[in-house]
Structure 1
Amino acid sequence: MALRMGKRKAPKREDKQIKERNMIAGGVFEDKTVDVLINLLNAKVIDSLDCPVSGGKEAIVFRASKGKGYRAVKVFKYENTSFRKMFDYVDGDPRFYKPSRQKRPLVQLWAKKEYANLKACRGAGVLVPEPFLCRENVLVMEFLGVGGIQSALLSEVVLEDAEKTFETIAQNMEKMFSAGLVHADLSEYNVMLHKGEPYFIDFAQGVSLKHPRAAEWLEKDCANVAKFFSKAGVRITGKDLLARVTNKRV
C-alpha cells in the first residue's frame, strides 16, 4: 500500500518527537506509577524507558527498548481533564460490572479496557498493536514504527492509493463489528500507517455492541472515516459504510 509524506502535513517524525519530548517529559509520574515501571524493568518486560513519542489528556506513550527492538509503554494519567467522560464508556458495557466512579480505580479500569479491546481485536484479525500486559495504569504493547521512529498517523500522510487504504479500514471495521466491538472514536487521528497498513490505535473508549450507545458511536465512526476518505477521492458516505459494516443490522 503506497503512501507518500505530504510536505506541509508531515514534519519529520524525529523533529516532532523531540518537540513532544520537551513538552511532556516533566511531571508525568507519581510514586505508584514509578513502582509499576520499575517492576516492569525488573521483570525484563522492557529493558529501558527511552522517550515519549506521543501524549494527550489521558495518557502518554513512551518508546521502550526490549532486546534489539522496541515496545510501546502507555501511561494513563491519574490527573487528567477527561476522567469523568470515561465513565460513560465503561458504564453500560457488560464486560465491566459496576465500575467505580473514583478516579484512581476508573483510570486503572480504563487501561484494562484498552488491553481487553486490543486483545479481542487481535483475536478477530483486526490490525491493532499487539498488547503484552497491563499493570494498574500502565499498558505495554507493540511499538508501531521503524528504526525507533513511530509510524505516521493517517492524518499526517497523503495517500497514493486511498481506495486501497479505505478498503482495508472498512474490512477491519467489519471484523471488529463481528467481534462485538465498536471503536467509538475512530478517525484519521486514531489510525496509524505502519509498514503501509492502517492500524487502529487508542482503544480505551471502545465498547461492546451491547453498550446502550454503541450504535450511536458506530455511526459516528463511520461518518468520520467516510468524511476523510471522501475528501481523498473515495466515493463513500457514512450511511453506506455503516450499512456495509453492520450488514444492515443496525
Structure 2
Amino acid sequence: MARKVSTRKKPSRDKIVLNERFKIESEVFDKPTLLSLMRIMQKGVINRMEYPISTGKEANVFLATTPSEQSVAVKIYKIETTHFLRRKEYLEGDPRYKKFRGRERDLVFAFAQKEFKNLQICERAGVHAPRPLFLEKNIIVMEFLGREGRAYPVMSTVGPAEGDLESILEDMRKLYRAGLVHADLSEYNIMVWEGPPYIIDWGQSVALGHKRSEEYLERDIYNVLKYFAFFGLYRDPKAILAWIRE
C-alpha cells in the first residue's frame, strides 16, 4: 500500500524559509524562555534558531542549527498557557511525579522534563522516536525528523505505507516492556517518510504505575487500529492487547 503523493506544485525551499522566518519574528517569547534559549546557545548546543516547523496549544517546535551546521528540532513549551491545567492527570497519576506540588509554571517545566525522560526511555528501548539531546527548563532540543529544512509529514496528511502498522505495534510493545504507554497515540503524532514511522509528542506519556495506564494503552490500540482499518488493514484489538502485554 503506497502513500499518495500530491500532484500539486510544492513551494520552493527558499519560499518556505522566507515565510517561516517571517513567522518566527511574530512569535512572542517570554523573558524566561529567551534566557533559557541564551543559555542553550552559550553551552554550544545550538548557535541559531531558524523558523517554526510546528505550532500547537502547548508548545511550538522550531528548526535550529548546531555549531557544526546540523539541523535539530527545538520544542518550546509555552509558559503562559492554561492548557496544562487540563492535563495534570497525566502528571499527577504518574508515580515518577507523585510528589509534584508546583505552580502552573512548574507544571510546564515538569511536562518538558517528563517528555525528555520519556524520549530517553524510547531511545534505550529502540522505539522509533526523536533522539533527545538537551533539556533546559521548558525547552527540549531533539533530533530533527526531516530533510533539507522540511519536517517529515504526519501520517494523517499522507496516509500509511506497507509495513507501517506492524512497525507501530512493535514500537508499542517495546514501549510497554520498557514500562511506558504513549497515552495519546494516533495518526496525528506519527511522522512518516522513507523507512519506519516515528512516534512524536511524548509529554503526556505515562509509566505503567499510573492508575490509568492500561486504559490509555487500550485507547492507543483502538485509535491506531481504527485508522488503519480505514485502509483495509484489520487487527483484533483484544489479540493485539494480549500480545503487547506478553
| TM norm structure 1 | 0.89
Q: CA deviation at 1:4?
A: 4.0
1:120 is aligned to: 121
- 1:218, 1:25 → 2: CA distance? 40
Partner Cα separation in structure 1 for residue 157 and residue 136 of structure 2: 31
On the 8 A contact 1:6/1:156 being kept in 2, the answer is no
What stretches of structure 1 of length at least 5 have no aligned partner? Answer: none
Contact preservation (8 Å) 1:3, 1:196: no
For the 8 Å contact 2:62–2:74, the answer to whether it is kept is yes
Distance 2:12 2:215 in 1: 35
After TM superposition, the structure 1 = structure 2 runs for residues 71-110 of structure 1, keeping only pairs within 5 Å, are 71-110=72-111
1:100-249 to 2 correspondences below 5 Å: 100-161=101-162, 164-247=163-246
Structure 1 residue identity aligned to 2:154: L
TM-superposed CA distance for 1:160, in Å, is 4.1
Greater percentage in strand: 1
1:5 and 1:156 in contact (8 A); partners too: no
Change in Cα spacing, 1:134 to 1:239, as seen in structure 2 (3 Å) is same
CA contact (8 A) 2:122 2:128 kept: yes
TM-score normalised to the size of structure 2?
0.90
Cα contact 2:191–2:200 (8 A) shared by 1: yes
Shift, 1:194, TM fit: 4.0
Q: Are 1:126 and 1:176, in contact at CA under 8 Å, matched by a contact in 2?
A: yes
Summarize deviations over 1:28-60 as a string: whole Å, max 9, x none: 311111011011112110121000000100000
Task: Look up the equivalent residue of 2:44 and give its one-letter code.
Answer: K
Could you tell me how far 1:132 is from its partner in structure 2?
0.7
Structure 2 regions of 5+ residues with no counterpart? Answer: none
SS at match of 2:198: strand
- Report percent identity of matched pairs: 40
Is the contact between residue 21 and residue 53 of structure 1 (CA under 8 Å) also seen in structure 2?
Answer: no
Q: Would the alpha carbon gap of residues 106 and 240 (structure 1) be closer, same or farther in structure 2, given more than 3 Å must change?
A: same
1:56-97 C-alpha deviation (Å, 9 max, x unpaired): 000000000122320000000012241112311011211123
Matched, 1:64 2:64: yes
Structure 2 contact 61–75 (Cα < 8 Å) conserved: yes
SS at match of 1:89: helix
3-state SS in 2 of match to 1:177: helix
Task: Give the partner amino acid of 1:47.
Answer: N
